Amino acid sequence: MSVKSEVSNWKYSTFLENKNYKFSRNDILNILTEEDIDEAYKIISDWENYAPTPLLLLDKLSTELKLKRIFYKDESKRFHLKSFKALGGSYAVEKITKGNKEIVISTATAGNHGRSVAWGSKKLGLKCKIFISEYVSEARAEAMRGFGADVIRVKGNYEDSLNECIKQSNQNNWQIVQDVAWKNYMLVPKLTMAGYSVMMKEISEQINNQKVSHIILQAGVGGMAAAMVAGLARYLNHIPQIIIVEPDSAACVLASINTGKVEKISIEKESIMGGMSCGEVSLVPWQILKKSVNYCVTVSDDYISKTIKYLANCELSYEKIIGGECSTPGIISLIGLCNDAKIRKKINLNEDSNVLLFGCEGDADEELYQKLLNS
Ligand SMILES: Cc1ncc(COP(=O)(O)O)c(C=O)c1O
C-alpha cells in the first residue's frame, strides 16, 4: 500500500483557533530579548563541534499533500545528543555557574533535557544530580550516567520527580537547572529558551529568503515553541501562521489558549511522546505563546510508529531520516489538517505553502525507537 493511500484517512483530534491572537514582535522580544538570543548564538556557535543541523525537505510528502515545500529541521544531528535539548540545558549550566567549579547542578527530566544538563556539567567539570520518574526508560537514564551524572529515580510522574529535585536541591544547596519556569524561577528557563533559539537562527539562514507560511511547533511545557516564536520575531521578516501541536492526553497549551489563562490538566495516560507529556504550560513560554499562536491541534499516539517508519524508509523524503517519537506530531498534524478540506482552506494550506516542521529528536531513546520502528 502506498503512503498516499495509507495517510489519506489520518485525522487530527482537536483543533482550536486562538481568539486572542495579536502578534507583537516588541512584546515577544521584551520577554526573551534580542541580547539574550544573540548572546546564546554567540556562545553556542563557539562550542567545540558546533555545526548547524540540516534543514531537510520532505519532498515526497509535500507532493502528496499538494504543498509547495515542507522543511524539516533535523535535530537528530544536534551534537551527539540527538535532540534540540542539547542547546538549552547545557547553555543554562554554563551561564548560571559562571566558571564556579564548586556548584552542584540538579534537574528533573523526561530524558533529553537531563542529557543536555549532564553533558554541560561534564564539559565544565561539575557534579550533576538528575531526577527521573518511573516512566523514563533505563536507556535514557544510562545515557545520562554516561555523562557522569548521578541519576535518581523517583516514584510517580514527571511532576513528582521535579518536586523531589526541588526538595533535595534546597536541602543540599544544589543549583537547579530546570527548563520549566515557576514563580521566582524565571532566569534559568529563559536561558534554556535562548539556547533553543539557535535553531531559528540556523533556519533563517538555511531557508535562503524563501517565505515560511506555516510553522508547526511541538509543545510539552512550551519552552521550545516559545523560543522558536521569539526566534521568528528576531530573525524573520515574514511571520508565518503558528500552530502548536500536542498529544491528545497532554494538551495543556490548547487548554490554556482556550480560556486565555494557564490551565493545569491532569494526564490520565502518558503519551508515547514522553517529552511532550506535560500538564501545565511554563510561565515564561506562556507569556510569549498566549497571543502569538494562531492555532492549536492535538494528535493521538496511533500514528507515531508508522511515521517513524516512513521517515526511516525514505517514504516522505529522498533521504533516510531518524526521527524519534517527538519528531512525529508535526508531520501527523500536517497530514490531518490537509485531509480536512474545510480546515485546509481556512488556514490556507495550498500549493503556495512552505511549511516548517521540527524533527525535535532522533533515536534519543534507542530502545523505544527500535520498538516503534519494528512494531
Ligand atoms: C524530545 C522532546 N522533549 C520535549 C519537548 C517539549 O519541549 P518543551 O517542554 O520545551 O515544550 C519536545 C518537543 O516539543 C521534544 O521533542
Going by alpha carbons, the residue nearest to atom 6 of ligand 1 is: 220
> Any idea what the CATH number is for the domain that residue 7 is in?
3.40.50.1100
Is residue 99 domain-shared with residue 36, that is, in the same domain?
no
Asked if the structure places residue 55 within a domain, the reply is: yes
Same domain, 224 and 172: no
Pocket flag, ligand 1, residue 251 (CB < 6 Å): no
Q: Does 273 share its domain with 333?
A: yes
Whether residue 353 sits in one domain with residue 221: yes
Domain span at residue 198 reads 3-83+192-374
Q: Where are the alpha helices (DSSP H) in 25-131?
A: 25-31, 34-44, 59-65, 89-97, 112-123
CA–CA separation, 357 vs 240, rounded Å? 12
Is 186 inside any structural domain? no
Based on the domain organization, do 275 and 133 belong to the same domain?
no
User: Can you tell me the distance from the alpha carbon of 336 to that of 298, in angstroms, rounded to the nearest whole number?
Assistant: 10
| 268, 134: one domain | no
Class of residue 63 by CB neighbours under 10 A (exposed 0-12, middle 13-18, buried 19+) = exposed
Name the domain boundary from 178, 204, 222.
Answer: 178
Please give the pLDDT value at position 5. Answer: 82
Are residues 104 and 12 both part of a single domain?
no
Task: Tell me, yes or no, whether 184 lies in a domain.
Answer: no
Number of Cα atoms under 13 Å in the Cβ half of residue 215: 26
Residue 185 forms part of a structural domain? no
Ligand 1 centre distance from Cα of residue 282 (Å)? 12
187 falls within a domain: no
- For residues 148 and 296, state if they share a domain: no
83 within ligand 1 shell (Cβ under 6 A):
yes
Q: Note whether 62 and 96 are same-domain residues.
A: no
pTM score, two decimals? 0.96
Please tell me if the CB atom of residue 323 comes closer than 6 angstroms to any atom of ligand 1: no
Alpha carbon distance 5, 357 (integer Å): 22
pLDDT of residue 111: 87
Is the domain of 310 the same as that of 272?
yes
Residue 183 domain flag? no
Find out whether 107 and 89 touch, Cβ atoms under 8 Å: yes
* 247 Cβ closer than 6 Å to some ligand 1 atom: no
Q: Is residue 344 one of the residues assigned to a domain? A: yes
Instruction: Among 146, 178, 210, identify where a domain stops.
Output: 178
DSSP class of 182 = B
Ligand 1 centroid from CA 316, angstroms: 22
* Mutational test site, ligand 1, from 32, 78, 85, max ligand atoms within 8 Å of CB: 85
For 133, other C-beta atoms within 10 Å of its C-beta total 22
Instruction: Point out the residues of the chain with pLDDT beneath 70.
Output: 1
Please give the Cα distance from 38 to 43 (Å, whole number): 9
Which pLDDT score, from 0 to 100, does residue 214 have?
98
DSSP state of 313: T
Asked whether 219 lines ligand 1 (CB < 6 A), one says yes
**Residues 135 and 209 grouped into a single domain:** no
Q: Quote the number of domains for the chain.
A: 2
Domain shared by 206 and 333, yes or no: yes
Whose alpha carbon is nearest atom 1 of ligand 1? 275
| Final residue before a domain boundary, out of 144, 178, 212 | 178
Helices (H) and strands (E) in the chain, counts: 17, 11
